[in-house]
Amino acid sequence: FQVYIKHYKALFVIIVAIVTYSFIQPDDYDTSPGILKNKRVLITGASQNIGEELATQYAQSGAKIVITARREDKLKEVAAKCRKAGATSVDYIVADMADIEQVKNVVKDAVALLGGLDQLVLNHVTGLNHPGMWNNSQFNLDYAQNSAIVNYVSYIHLSTHAIPHLTESNGNLIVVSSLAGHVPTINTAIYGATKASLNHFYASLRLEMMASERDPYSITICMMGPIETDRSRWSKFPDKVNMKGNPIDDTAAQIIKAGTTRRSYLFIPWWTKYASAVKAIPSQLVDRMFLKIFYNK
């Protein structure tokens, strides 16, 4: 019993700290209308879902956009949509993030098209079919290999090539990650592992910049919880999941705002920051609670 009391005390302290942080963190960047006009933005994974919505909303703000994904036909559709929405300019780059040799050229080609870089939005994920629960199959192993490259290694390459340009523009690096990288969830062992790697790498990179007493660009880590995308389990399996995903248009708007205002973290939906705090308490009781709340187990 005393152990549980200690855990609940720790939970209380963490929640108080998060609530306080939520209210005191300043938006120290201009958010007036037109602030994104002519901003040079590269968005990965932009052929559908969050990436497509991000591109559309940047376009509505008058930004100069380069979008990238594997499927040229989809990129053409999104580019046309962005031009109609009001983008200052729109170009696309066809690239497979599983091929590091292709990845190496994405930022260089985007900078050549844009004339520089103000914001890099890393949003892509592996296109392989989701393996479900880990079952020791060869498909699981192949999925793990591909995910490590697409969901993690390619991010490091892209941001590394972008850093000189973001430093020059005092720009913004926006990493669309996932709460699955912090809170274990069913069917996400590999996906969550790659997101945990992203979260740790970019949080550590930000800390290294602080330690070096330099802040040439900002890093915003977006911790995505349930989002109502076309292929998400929140849409496909409503009988097995106890909640709705966050609307995709609101999700994209929050990501853009968080990156532009140079926030360190963004949690979507808002309540996931508290789920993150609860999971910080090591306990089987918490694991059982999550299974009951999210999966009726």
| Cα–Cα dist 60/82, whole Å | 8
Phi, psi of 40 (to 5 degrees): -95, 115
Identify whether 21 is a catalytic site residue.
no
| Cα–Cα dist 267/19, whole Å | 13
> Which of the residues 143, 191, 202, 217 is marked catalytic?
191
| Cα–Cα dist 194/183, whole Å | 13
Phi-psi region of 181 (alpha: psi -120 to 50; beta: other; left: phi over 0): alpha
Q: Are 155 and 181 in contact (CB under 8 A)?
A: no
Q: Are 199 and 152 in contact (CB under 8 A)?
A: no
Token pair of 52 as six digits: 């497509």
Residues 6+ apart with CB under 8 A from 168: 116
Nearest to 56 by CA among 125, 102, 121: 121
Token pair of 198 as six digits: 């992203």
Known catalytic residues?
191
